[in-house]
Amino acid sequence: MKNYKILAIIALIVTLFGCEKEDALKKQDYLFLKQYCTTVTVGGVVGIAERCFEIGDVVVGYEKTKGIVTIRIAEHGPLNDGPPTNASYQEFLDVPSDYLRLKE
């Protein structure tokens, strides 16, 4: 019985350390290969705005799913703490990976 408890504890530890967390994803620099424009949420009275990235722009992001790179477009601030409100703004943007390549 004692051996089963030890095996169960080891299996639990291996499972917990094997899980990949979003924070643990490796953030890398990406370079835009083509112009990319999209609508983003800017919050407050303004609401939405057109955001464009030009060829050669460098951004920080990570590939969370195959073919999609999640980039940071704004730093986290107190307006984004808590539940979403009309003052909240968009911090991340998903971009198709064919618009980006890893910066060397």
Residue 18 covered by a domain: no
Residue 34 and residue 99 in contact, taking contact as beta carbons nearer than 8 Å? yes
pLDDT tens-digit series, residues 15-40: 666 655 555 568 899 999 999 999 98
Q: Domain span at residue 94?
A: 23-102
Residue 17 covered by a domain: no
Beta strands in 6-99 (DSSP E): 28-32, 36-43, 47-53, 58-65, 68-72, 92-96
Residue 5 covered by a domain: no
Residue 88 covered by a domain: yes
Residue 53 covered by a domain: yes
Provide the whole-model pTM.
0.67
Residue 10 covered by a domain: no
**Number of domains the chain contains:** 1
At 14, the pLDDT band (50, 70, 90 cuts) reads low
Share of the chain above pLDDT 70, in %: 81
